[in-house]
Amino acid sequence: MSLPRCLTIAGSDSGGGAGIQADLKAFAALGVYGMSALTAVTAQNTIGVQAVFELPATLVAQQIDSVVTDIGVDAVKTGMLANAEIIAVVAEKARTYRWPYLVVDPVMVAKSGDPLLRPEARTALISLLFPLATIVTPNLPEAKALTGLNISSVAEMEQAAQQIHALGPRWVLVKGGHLAGDSVDVLYDGHEYRYFSSSRIETRHTHGTGCTFASAIAAGLAKGLSVPEAVQAAKDYITLALQHAPGLGQGHGPVHHFAAWYR
Ligand X SMILES: Cc1ncc(COP(=O)(O)O)c(N)n1
Distance in Å, CB of 187 to ligand X, minimum:
20
Catalytic residue among 206, 212, 223, 253: 206
Catalytic residue among 78, 209, 212, 239: 209
Residue 208: active-site member = yes
Q: Are strands 33-44 and 183-188 parallel, antiparallel or unpaired?
A: unpaired
Q: In this structure, what are the phi and psi dihedrals at residue 36, rounded to the nearest 5 degrees?
A: -140, 145
* 211 forms part of the interface with ligand ATP (CB under 6 A): yes
Distance in Å, CB of 243 to ligand ATP, minimum:
9
Residue 13 near which of ligand X, ligand ATP, none (CB within 5-8 Å, type-dependent)? ligand X
Q: Which amino acid is at 256?
A: H
Residue 206 · residue 252 · CB < 8 Å: yes
- Which DSSP helix (H) or strand (E) runs through 152? none
Residue 82 · residue 54 · CB < 8 Å: yes
Q: Which amino acid is at 64?
A: I
Catalytic residue among 175, 212, 220, 235: 175
* 13 forms part of the interface with ligand X (CB under 6 A): yes
Angle ∠(208,213,216) on CA atoms, nearest 5: 125
CA 247 to CA 241: how far, in whole Å?
12
Contacts of 224 (CB under 8 A, 6+ apart): 4
- Binding segment (CB under 6 A) for ligand X, from list 162-170, 182-190, 206-214, 227-235: 206-214
* 243 forms part of the interface with ligand ATP (CB under 6 A): no
Distance in Å, CB of 15 to ligand X, minimum:
8
Residue 210: active-site member = yes
Shorter beta-carbon distance to ligand ATP: residue 45 or 183: 183
Contacts of 75 (CB under 8 A, 6+ apart): 4, 5, 6, 7, 99, 100, 101, 102, 103, 218, 219, 221, 222
Distance in Å, CB of 56 to ligand ATP, minimum:
25
Pick one of 122, 144, 170, 178: the residue that binds ligand ATP (CB under 6 A).
178
Residue 146 · residue 140 · CB < 8 Å: no
Residue 235 near which of ligand X, ligand ATP, none (CB within 5-8 Å, type-dependent)? ligand ATP
Contact pattern from residue 78 through residue 107 relative to ligand ATP, giving x for each residue in contact according to CB under 6 A and a dash for the rest: ------------------------------
The residues annotated with a catalytic role in the active site are 175, 206, 208-211
Q: Which residues bind ligand ATP (CB under 6 A)?
A: 18, 111, 139, 175-178, 183, 185, 198, 200-201, 203, 206-211, 213, 235, 238, 242
